[in-house]
Amino acid sequence: NAGVTQTPKFRVLKTGQSMTLLCAQDMNHEYMYWYRQDPGMGLRLIHYSVGEGTTAKGEVPDGYNVSRLKKQNFLLGLESAAPSQTSVYFCASSPRGPGGANVLTFGAGSRLTVL
Amino acid sequence: DAKTTQPNSMESNEEEPVHLPCNHSTISGTDYIHWYRQLPSQGPEYVIHGLTSNVNNRMASLAIAEDRKSSTLILHRATLRDAAVYYCILRVIISGSARQLTFGSGTQLTVLP
């Protein structure tokens, strides 16, 4: 049982280049999330999805786009990378559940450096 | 949105209990209190969560104040593998039934051998 898998694990981009981070989960979870973590800080929510075909903005969505064409996959795109997007990106998923109880499962992270 | 406040760092000796505090004075009645931890170079890992009553699982215990404005994560016997950043988080409604975890900067726990 792989849980949440992120690819790639590492990537170096030049300013202005584009790329896509892929998140895949095999737990049949309804909800998926993309977070970024900058050095010495907590995680900040970029975008999230409450189901296949639906996405919504989180706390820091500017400069990113997402798509959820299949329930198990959540893609994070950078159309024109900027040095400020240098960060570690974490994907997470959770089941639909009552109240605020449902638990998140995180991937191992994708480290992105923009030169 | 409700916020949490945690000490930046704490130290503990191996095999001793550790009490990690968290203040959340603006918590609402429907906010669950979650604890996650992040080991070096890994993604956050779920530890425990609760609403009003104290909770126990194989990893830890969660003690919630009667007024719910604070909580304490208790590791009963710290091991070197417990050295991590511990996040106290409130599960906040963001859209319909979807919930957002708002992470603060957490508490860096150092376990001394």
% pLDDT > 70, chain B: 88
Tokens describing residue A35: 């977070």
DSSP state at residue A103:
P
d(CA B53, CA B50): 7
Per-residue pLDDT, A97: 67
The answer, yes or no, to whether residue A92 has pLDDT greater than 60, is: yes
Q: In chain B, which residue's Cα lies nearest the Cα of A33?
A: B100
Per-residue pLDDT, A39: 84
Q: Which of B89, B99, B108 to mutate to test the interface with A (most CBs of A within 10 A)?
A: B99
A64 and B CB contact within 8 Å: no
The answer, yes or no, to whether residue A89 has pLDDT greater than 70, is: yes
Taking the alpha carbons at both ends of chain B, their separation in whole angstroms is 39
A95 and B CB contact within 8 Å: no
Worst-scoring range by mean pLDDT, A19-28, A49-58, B70-79?
Answer: A49-58
Q: Helix and strand tally (H, E) in chain A?
A: 0, 11
pLDDT tens-digit map of B14-55? 999 999 999 998 888 878 899 999 998 899 999 999 989 999
The answer, yes or no, to whether residue A6 has pLDDT greater than 80, is: yes
Per-residue pLDDT, A36: 95
% pLDDT > 90, chain B: 65
CB contact under 8 A, B98 and A50: yes
Of the candidates B36, B45, B99, the beta carbon closest to that of A100 is on: B99
Per-residue pLDDT, B100: 65
Q: Which residues, 6+ apart, have CB-to-CB distance to A105 below 8 Å?
A: A3, A4, A25, A27, A29, A92, A93, A94, B46
Q: Which of A91, A106, A111 to mutate to test the interface with B (most CBs of B within 10 A)?
A: A106
Worst-scoring range by mean pLDDT, A7-11, B75-79, B97-101?
Answer: B97-101
Q: Which residue has the higher pLDDT, A108 or A1?
A: A108
Q: Which residues, 6+ apart, have CB-to-CB distance to B112 below 8 Å?
A: B11, B12, B13, B14
Beta bridge partners of A7: A22
pLDDT tens-digit map of B52-69? 999 999 889 999 999 999
A9 and B CB contact within 8 Å: no
Give contacts of A90 with chain B, Cβ < 8 Å: 43-44
Q: Between the CA of residue B26 and those of B31, B45, B111, what are the distances in Å?
A: 10, 25, 31
For residue B81, give the 3-state DSSP assignment.
Answer: helix
d(CA B42, CA B56): 24
* Residue A1 pLDDT grade (very low, low, confident, very high; cuts 50, 70, 90): low
Long-range contacts, stretch A79-84, CB < 8 angstroms, 24+ apart: A79/A18, A80/A16, A80/A17, A80/A18, A81/A13, A81/A14, A81/A15, A81/A16, A81/A17, A81/A18, A81/A19, A81/A112, A81/A114, A82/A15, A82/A114, A83/A15, A83/A114, A83/A115, A84/A114
A96 and B CB contact within 8 Å: yes
Instruction: For residue A42, give how far its alpha carbon lies from the nearest alpha carbon of chain B (Å).
Output: 4
